[in-house]
Chain A
Amino acid sequence: MTAVEATTARPARTSGGARLVNRVFLVRELGILLALGLLVAVTAIANPRFLGAQSIKDLLLGSTILAILAVGQAVVVITRNVDLSVGSILGLSAFATGSLFVASPGLPIPVAVLVGLVLGAICGAVNGGLIAAARVPALVVTLGTLYVFRGIDYRWAGGRQINAADMPDGFLRLGNDTVLGIPLLTLVAVVVLVVAGFYLRSYRGGRELYAIGSDPDAARLSGIPVGRRVFFAFVASGALAGLAGVLHAARFGTLDANAGINSELNVVAAVVVGGVAIFGGSGSVYGAALGAVLLTTIASALPVLGINPFWQRAAVGALILAAIGLDRALAIRVARRLRGRSSHG
């Protein structure tokens, strides 16, 4: 039979493509890491205090909340959707945590964390449900819930402010304690990151999220429950935003209805800079978290370098353009090499 003859005629090629793809994957996350290293090095040379223990702790604390939001956002973006309501969910969850402690000061901390998570998950379920039921693009639905959730927050807070004095010390310590010099909050973020990364990489459900983002119609044809998986992605993103809200309350202590306002585009920026394709299908949560760290570092490095802080936004913008440009260049290079190397010789 022809098929068998062909097999024996030529030995199977070693996985050159695999190495190439792996390298690209590494390059993508390595690139952010390199940029981060370069930025820290330059800043430290200009001002050695930038690498002081307190400064590093501030940097890590500052990136933690953005990184958690970015992990949730990455899960959604991988499915070719976007969640613009995360900032409002954070605000709602943060204020709920504060109010909870005002109402019952003796509440165990894990309960407060759980309440924040569940509240966020419910908000995420509202997003996911609307998208699935109304078949409206996520961009529009979450733009709407961005205002709805924030409106609920305003109505609830009504100009009130919750101060650190209203919250138990144990809870506030959570926001400042360190383990071996690493803030506790950062460790929480690392756990979230590793769990999300592991699920996306090693479980069928996770891989199906990539498949949906890569080609939604093909996903439907191959029997993937697209609606359910996307719903799940939004619940996950909402729950992580809820968690971020609890951590926000623990870290800042002072809460009003404006917590987390305007942070949604920062989150999307972190995800894009971190190499998650905005049209879904590729990227990783690790990249998104690194993107969050890089953006936070830029914000704190620019004043140290004596650069006008007004430039900060421009720098973030330039970084987004650079990230997209890099992705495009890499994609073209990979495409050319894969095409040039005919798979049948």
Chain B
Amino acid sequence: MIDGIKIFDAHVHYLGRFKKRDESILEYLEKFGIDKAIITTINKHTTLEKFNLLPDESSMENFDEAMFVEHFGLKDQLNHDEVLKLVQENVNLFGFYWFNPKIANDDDWKLMRKFIKEYEFKGVKTQMCVDLLKIPEDLFSLAEFCIEYDVPLFLHSGAGFFFQDAFRAKDYFELVKQYPELKCIIGHAAYTMEYMINELRYFTKFPNIYFETSLSVPYGIMTLIKIMGDHRVMYGSDSPSATNPDIEISKIMMLNLSRETLENVFYNNISKLIGEK
């Protein structure tokens, strides 16, 4: 809680560079006044160290998706055992299952179903960039899965690597217009002003599309709240892997918003979306 406002972080990983090694994720979150959090796993394959060992520029001309897969070895779904343990031991942590539909076999779908039904994970996260997903075609089955189990689908925003298509608001629009009942969270929703401006164009009239604020530009967050409404924007930090929560919290706190708006953005919206009792 910060200044009497409860904080529910909609985007946390169980590990990351900004958490001290001897600190638990709970201690870390508590340090920043976070009451509750959506928590997911982390991709340990696409590390900085591995990236810095990539071929030099002369080879970059030929670098493609196949070489990327070979270099980073993204052949299996990510493991969620640590996240499950945390969620089962802490009532204030809610799991999201990171799923790559492109490489999924029947067992992978079964396992995810088990995490949602049996372990009560509250949503599904996708990461288009490192999982090399094409939007919208790689997400159709996952969208249907999320509708069936009535859980939100978290869509990561990003620039894409040079050998990929970028993830444009238009591409997400192509997905959601086919599934108007699908609840989506667009992560890093205002990571650049240009991207946010495209969202304004496509999603004003889609009430099931929510916008998560981590790694966003403050002016972009303010514009989203103003135009989409304070019931569709939710605070997230992407900590401790990308940054610290205090930076992400400050971006919203310094926008001179009403207390009611702050309560919605920092807590109520994500709480309602996952159907918290």
Instruction: State whether these chains interact.
Output: no
